[in-house]
Structure 1
C-alpha cells in the first residue's frame, strides 16, 4: 500500500492508488473474450470439469457455502500444443463475464534479480482490483519446473516460482480470483506447485480421437460454402495424431485452395489437398501450383 504523508506533521494524508508495472497492465484484456463453449469440439469432459472448478464457484458461491466446503482455487490444463487449452480458458472467462488476465510464464522470467517476483505480486494485486477475474498462466513450466541447486538465472526463476507459491497460498478462494495454468510438460513441474490447495484439479488435453476430430471439422466448416457430398467423416479418419488446431487448419487450407482458383465453394478435392498439406504427405510439392496454372 502506498500512502501520502503531510510534510509538516508526517500524518497520514491519503492512500495513493497502486502503481502497476506497464508490462502487467498489458496482460489484462479490456474486453471479455468472445470464445464460447460452442466453438470447442471434442472436449466435453474437459468443459464439464472446468465448469465445476472455475465457473460454478464464481456464479454460485452459495452452493459451496451451504455444503461447508472450500471453493477450488485453480486448475492445471496439460497436454500437447494446439489441443484447446487456451481456447477453453478464454471460453470460461466469456461465460463467467470475468476479467481475463493472460500471462506467459516466459514473460515472468526477468534478467534482473527480484523483477520476476515483483511482477507476480503486481499480477495478483491487479487481479484483486478487477475481481471477479481469471488469471491464465500459459507455459507455466517456464517458471514452475522442479527446483534444484543452481545459481544465476535459474535461481532467479526459482525465486519467481516461490513468489507464485506464496501468492497462491495468500489469497482466499472466495475472493473471486481463479487461476488457470497451462503446460505442455506436466512431467517437469515442481510437486509443490501441483499440491492440492494450490492446484485443485488437473485436466488432461490429449490429441482428439476420430469422433472429436469430426466434431471439430463440423464446427469450423459450418459457415463455409461447401458443395454437396463433402465426406467429413472420411476427412476426420485421415487426420490421425493431429491436434485440434491442425484439424481447424484443414478447413482454412481447404478454403484457401478454393480461393486460389477464384471459386466461391469448397470441394472434397480441396479438403483432400488440405489434409495432405497438414499431414505433410503431399507426394508432389508442385501439384498445387500446376493445378492453379491450368
Structure 2
C-alpha cells in the first residue's frame, strides 16, 4: 500500500524595505502636524477676534471719556468766566441798542455784541449782560415752569363748528371777536379800531363752552393753551402770579395762540376786605397779576384769552370791564326744540 505524505506549507514572508517604513512613519507624522497647525490657527483666530472686540470696547470707552472731558472743560471755562447779569428785554431801540430790565437794579439802555443777531431779540427775551460793560452778549432760553408747559396742547384740537348744535348765535359771536381778528387783522387796522382781547363764556355746566373754545382753536390753527383756574391757586406766596406770567410768556412765544382759562371764578371772584391770614390774599394776588397781563399785551400780538365760568355773578368787576373782557357770550340750557334737533342731526 502506498503511503501519501502531507507536507505543511510554511508562510511566505515578504521582505519590507526600510524606505516603505519610513514613508508610512512620515505620513503619520505629517498628518499629526497638519492637525496641530490647523488647531493652532483656529485658536489664534479666536484670540485675534477677542483682542479686536476688546480694542473696539476700549475705543468706545475712550471716545466717551473724551466727550466727558470736553464737556467738563467747557463747563470749567464757563465757571472761570466772570458772571453776567440776567435781564429781560423791554424794547429794541435802534440797530445796536436795547432797553433791558435787570432785577433789582432797574432798566438800562445797553449795547449789543457783534455776534448777536438783533432780529432774534424781541420784547420779553431773556438776555445776559457782561458785568463790567453791560454789553448784551448772550440770548438765553425762556424760563417756563414745567407745569405751565404741560398746559399747552401740542396738537391742534380736532373739534369743529359742525360738531356743535344749538349754538349758532354763540358761534357767530365768537367768530367775530376771535377768528376774524386772527385771520384778517387788516380789517381792524383799516377801520382804526382795536381788536378784542378777551371773551367770557358763561352759562351752566355742560352747555358747550369748552367744546366751542376747542373748535375756535381748530379753525384758526392756533396753539391752544388750556388751564383751569384752580391750577393757578398755589399755597406758596407768589407762585400763582409767577405761573400767570409764564403762561403769557409761553403764549407770546407760540403765537398765534388762544389761552382758555376754565373755572375763572376760582381766581377771579370779587375781592373782599379780609384781615385773616388765609389763602384769599394769595388768590387776589394771582388775579391782580392776571389783570396786569391783560392790560400789558397788545391785541395785535395774536394772543386771545377765552374765559369760562358758570358763576358770572361772583366775578370781580375789574375783570369784566372793557379792555380786558370785550365780549360776554351766554350759553343757556338748551330748550326742547334744540334737544330734538340734536337727535335728528346726530
Provide the TM-score with structure 2 as the length reference.
0.62
Q: Does 1:106 align with 2:230?
A: yes
Does residue 167 (structure 1) correspond to residue 293 (structure 2)? The answer is: yes
Secondary structure of 2:300 counterpart: helix
Q: d(CA) in 2 for partners of 1:171 and 1:16?
A: 22
| 1:40/1:216 contact within 8 Å kept | no
- Residue aligning to 2:109: none
> In the alignment, which residue of structure 2 is the partner of 1:83?
207
Q: 2:307 aligns with which of 165, 171, 181?
A: 181
More relative contact order in 1 or in 2 (CA 8 Å, sep 6+)?
1
1:187 to 1:15, Cα distance in 2 relative to 1, 3 A: same
Determine which structure has the larger strand proportion and give its number. 2
- Counterpart CA distance in 2 for 1:83 and 1:141 is 17
The structure whose Rg is larger is 2
- Displacement of 1:10 after TM fit? 6.1
Please list every run of 5 or more consecutive structure 1 residues that lacks an aligned counterpart in the other structure. 222-294
Q: CA deviation at 1:215?
A: 2.8
| 1:209 shift after superposition | 1.1
Give 1:202's match in structure 2, choosing from 328, 338, 342: 328
The corresponding residue for 1:190 is: 316
- Cα root mean square deviation, aligned: 1.3
Of 195, 207, 216, the residue aligned with 1:92 is 216
- Partner secondary structure for residue 193 of structure 1: helix
Query: Does residue 143 of structure 1 match 2:267?
Result: yes
Q: Which residue of 2 aligns with 1:267?
A: none
1:14 match: 138
Q: Distance in 1 between matches of 2:145 and 2:291?
A: 20
Q: Is the CA contact (8 Å cut-off) linking 1:72 and 1:173 kept in structure 2?
A: yes
Q: Gapped runs of 5+ residues in structure 2?
A: 1-87, 89-125
Structure-2 separation of matches of 1:6 and 1:64: 43
Matches within 5 A, 1:13-162: 13-150=137-274, 151-162=277-288
